[in-house]
């Protein structure tokens, strides 16, 4: 195309290469390797994080449980117990059945319908009833704002027969005992409590009451199941008052059986740790199997990356032709350790080949044929005699000497028959 016509057809700044459009280049090998490594690492990280995601959840969602640091949560009481030297645990898995030492504190949420038997604890259990409806605080993660009091008609399914009542305003109750495990002299002064929540519990045993006779804690007459009416006696907004904090620690210490720990259950709040097949892959003893599989996969990938050239096709186990037959026979003789016994038959075969090649008389055999061939060899310049070579072949037991003797027999045959060529004595196959 003329330059003038090309300039008319194409916009300014554009042109066509004389060699045509260039082909796109492939990515560099290093770039491909980096992409593969990053992809494998990301996939492995995704598997591990998926397996341990429930464990990594801190639970600070502002609700009423031991992982929450909000005003209605119990994380403040947990920290206070630890600072006081009390053995304290947060339970995220079902306890072993039959365990009775310690105290299990359960804080069921509104709508929870599990039974007390689901807690799988044979010792004393303290159930703290809910009280507040809240909404998340948009200005601070994990904090909440009070919305209203919950419906007073709700209680957990395993506390049937109980109902709650609320005292208007702010109260400063003093909890008094009188029933085991609290003595009649027990007096637990509390800080200010808003809308104090009390219990009406026909058929239950009143354990703690206030100065007005209102019941704040009851016990199931058939088992060590205690119910505390007001969560503000234990939660963070309550224990910020030193009187309430001291009373809460004393209350839990009194309920604890033997020297077991004070355990806060969060399985009822949706933070239970469950077993999964994926997590088993990364927990001992199955971790060793997983690491072995990853190592084997890595070696397979490495082998695939370093392989080059066409694939080598496997040949026949037994090749065709006379050469393969000879090689296999030689290998069999070598494996049997019979090489040193092949010298004498080879000398006889050499004599027969030489006699046929020179046209020796057919009536000659044995020693007479040997003498004839010796005379002919002397005439034709052979340095060895067939008689001596045949005698040495019978006596030689060493493999190396037998190979050298076979070469001498071959050279003698060439000098008699006037053949051309060099001795072709191969090395034996390696076992």
Q: Residue 174 corresponds to which tokens in the numbers above? A: 């003093």
Region 194-220 average pLDDT: 94
Alpha-carbon Rg for the chain in angstroms: 49
Tell me, yes or no, whether 341 lies in a domain. yes
- The answer to whether residues 161 and 231 belong to one domain is yes
What local confidence, expressed as pLDDT, does residue 328 receive?
83
Region 22-45 average pLDDT: 78
What local confidence, expressed as pLDDT, does residue 26 receive?
56
What local confidence, expressed as pLDDT, does residue 109 receive?
84
- The answer to whether residues 206 and 121 belong to one domain is yes
- The answer to whether residues 155 and 257 belong to one domain is yes
The CATH number of residue 221's host domain is 3.40.50
Percent of the chain with pLDDT over 70: 86
316-330: b (≥16 Cβ within 10 Å) or e: eeeeeeeeeeeeeee
**pTM (predicted TM-score):** 0.58
- The answer to whether residues 231 and 134 belong to one domain is yes
What local confidence, expressed as pLDDT, does residue 190 receive?
96
What local confidence, expressed as pLDDT, does residue 342 receive?
83
Q: Which distant-in-sequence residues (6+ apart) come within 8 Å of 56 by Cβ?
A: 49
Q: Is 117 helix (H, G, I), strand (E, B) or coil?
A: helix
- The answer to whether residues 137 and 229 belong to one domain is yes
- The answer to whether residues 159 and 113 belong to one domain is yes
Q: What is the pLDDT of residues 120-159, one digit of tens each?
A: 788 999 999 999 999 999 888 888 998 899 988 777 777 7
What local confidence, expressed as pLDDT, does residue 309 receive?
67
> How distant, in Å, are the alpha carbons of 129, 200, 218, 220, 248 from that of 204?
15, 9, 6, 5, 22
- The answer to whether residues 102 and 234 belong to one domain is yes
| pLDDT-based confidence at residue 97 (cuts at 50, 70, 90) | confident
Region 372-398 average pLDDT: 85
What local confidence, expressed as pLDDT, does residue 25 receive?
54
Region 8-26 average pLDDT: 49
Q: How many domains does the chain have?
A: 3
- The answer to whether residues 45 and 79 belong to one domain is no
**Alpha-carbon gap, residue 271 to 277, rounded angstroms:** 19
Q: What is the pLDDT of residues 398-427, one digit of tens each?
A: 888 888 888 888 888 888 888 765 544 444
What local confidence, expressed as pLDDT, does residue 421 receive?
57
The angle subtended at Cα 235 by Cα 230 and Cα 238, nearest 5°, is: 80
Q: What is the pLDDT of residues 54-79, one digit of tens each?
A: 666 667 888 999 999 999 999 999 99
**Alpha-carbon gap, residue 229 to 149, rounded angstroms:** 13
Domain that includes residue 193, residue range: 75-269
What local confidence, expressed as pLDDT, does residue 243 receive?
95
- The answer to whether residues 381 and 354 belong to one domain is yes
Region 206-223 average pLDDT: 94
**Alpha-carbon gap, residue 120 to 356, rounded angstroms:** 103
Number of Cβ within a 10 Å radius of residue 79: 14
What local confidence, expressed as pLDDT, does residue 290 receive?
87
What local confidence, expressed as pLDDT, does residue 170 receive?
95
| pLDDT-based confidence at residue 231 (cuts at 50, 70, 90) | very high
Tell me, yes or no, whether 62 lies in a domain. no
Tell me, yes or no, whether 65 lies in a domain. no
**pLDDT for residue 216 is more than 90:** yes
**pLDDT for residue 250 is more than 90:** yes
Region 318-334 average pLDDT: 81
Tell me, yes or no, whether 428 lies in a domain. no
Average pLDDT, the chain: 83
């Amino acid at each position: 195309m003329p330059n003038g016509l090309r300039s008319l057809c194409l916009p300014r700044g554009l042109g066509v290469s004389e060699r045509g459009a260039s082909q796109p280049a492939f990515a560099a090998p290093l770039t491909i390797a980096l992409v593969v490594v990053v992809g494998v690492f990301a996939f492995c990280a995704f598997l591990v994080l998926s397996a341990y995601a429930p464990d990594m959840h801190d639970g600070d969602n502002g609700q009423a449980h031991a992982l929450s640091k909000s005003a209605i949560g119990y994380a403040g009481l947990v920290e206070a117990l630890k600072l006081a030297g009390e053995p304290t645990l947060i339970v995220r898995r079902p306890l072993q059945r039959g365990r009775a030492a310690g105290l299990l504190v359960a804080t069921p949420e509104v709508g929870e319908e599990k039974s007390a038997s689901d807690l799988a604890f044979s010792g004393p259990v303290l159930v703290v009833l809910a009280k507040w409806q809240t909404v998340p605080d948009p200005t601070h993660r994990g904090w909440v704002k009070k919305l209203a009091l919950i419906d007073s008609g709700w209680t957990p399914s395993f506390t049937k027969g109980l109902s709650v009542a609320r005292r208007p305003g702010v109260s400063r109750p003093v909890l008094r005992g009188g029933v085991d495990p609290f003595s009649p002299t027990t007096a637990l002064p509390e800080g200010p409590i808003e809308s104090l929540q009390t219990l009406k519990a026909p058929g239950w045993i009143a354990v703690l009451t206030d100065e007005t006779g209102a019941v704040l804690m009851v016990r199931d007459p058939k088992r060590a199941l205690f119910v505390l009416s007001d969560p503000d006696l234990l939660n963070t907004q309550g224990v910020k008052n030193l009187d309430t904090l001291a009373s809460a620690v004393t209350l839990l210490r009194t309920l604890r059986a033997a020297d077991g720990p004070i355990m806060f259950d969060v399985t009822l709040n949706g933070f239970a740790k469950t077993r999964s097949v994926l997590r088993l892959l990364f927990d001992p003893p199955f971790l060793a199997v997983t690491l072995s599989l990853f190592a084997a996969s890595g070696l397979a990938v490495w082998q695939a990356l370093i392989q080059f050239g066409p694939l080598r096709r496997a040949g026949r186990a037994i090749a065709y032709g006379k050469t393969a037959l000879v090689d296999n026979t030689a290998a069999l003789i070598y494996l049997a350790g019979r090489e040193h016994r092949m010298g004498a038959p080879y000398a006889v075969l050499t004599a027969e080949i030489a006699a046929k090649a020179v046209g020796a008389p057919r009536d000659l055999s044995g020693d007479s044929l040997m003498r004839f061939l010796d005379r002919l060899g002397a005439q034709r310049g052979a340095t060895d005699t067939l008689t001596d070579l045949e005698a040495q072949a019978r006596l030689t037991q060493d493999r190396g000497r037998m190979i050298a003797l076979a070469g001498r027999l071959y050279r003698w045959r060439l000098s008699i028959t006037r053949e051309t060529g060099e001795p072709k004595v191969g090395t034996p196959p390696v076992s």
